Structure 1
Amino acid sequence: MGASSGPGKTPGVYLGWWGNIGSLPQKGVTTYALSANRQSPLAGTAHAAIFNTWRRFRGAALYVLPPFIGYYMLMNWANDRNHFLNSKEGRALYAEDAEE
């Protein structure tokens, strides 16, 4: 058997096609497998998602809520002020300021 016979367990034949180097098998490598019908890839996903979401929300709430509430109050005040200034009462109240 020479190099042209292809990869195998023959010493001296080490190069094969991509992913099949063809060298002697390694010793001391243990491989474990679990049958597909014994796996449960989504076990506990819903439970973990609920509690992880709550934990992350609780940790970030004090960073997000105060500025959000402040900006909401500022925007609400600005909208109310804009509606007042563009109303009949607001125009009448500030009419003399606009004439100057």
Structure 2
Amino acid sequence: MKRKKKDDSAENWSYKNDYPIEEVWNTDNYLAGVIADRLKAFKALEKHGYCPAFKGMAEWNKAIQKMIDAFELLKHITSFSEEEEKIIEEGLELFCRHYRYLWD
């Protein structure tokens, strides 16, 4: 994350914050990118456990991939097909339901 520098123009930064205004205007896209990247790294870990809602690590990783797919779509696109909407809904639902198990 970029931090405000003394020589940066004030118009490029959000009011009373140290965040670029584009990140604030597009908080949804910005956070989708951050979350997708972290989920990818988490999935790649040699994890020591998995969410108890799943039968094993393979099923847990499949759910994590669905979360990744949803956030990848949300990173840049603002208009979605019916199929993309279903992918997003499923991925976000999994993310919300299993958020507290995204640790190792």
Relative to the length of structure 1, the TM-score reads 0.26
Higher relative contact order (CA 8 A, sep 6+): 2
* Structure ID, larger Rg: 1
Relative to the length of structure 2, the TM-score reads 0.25
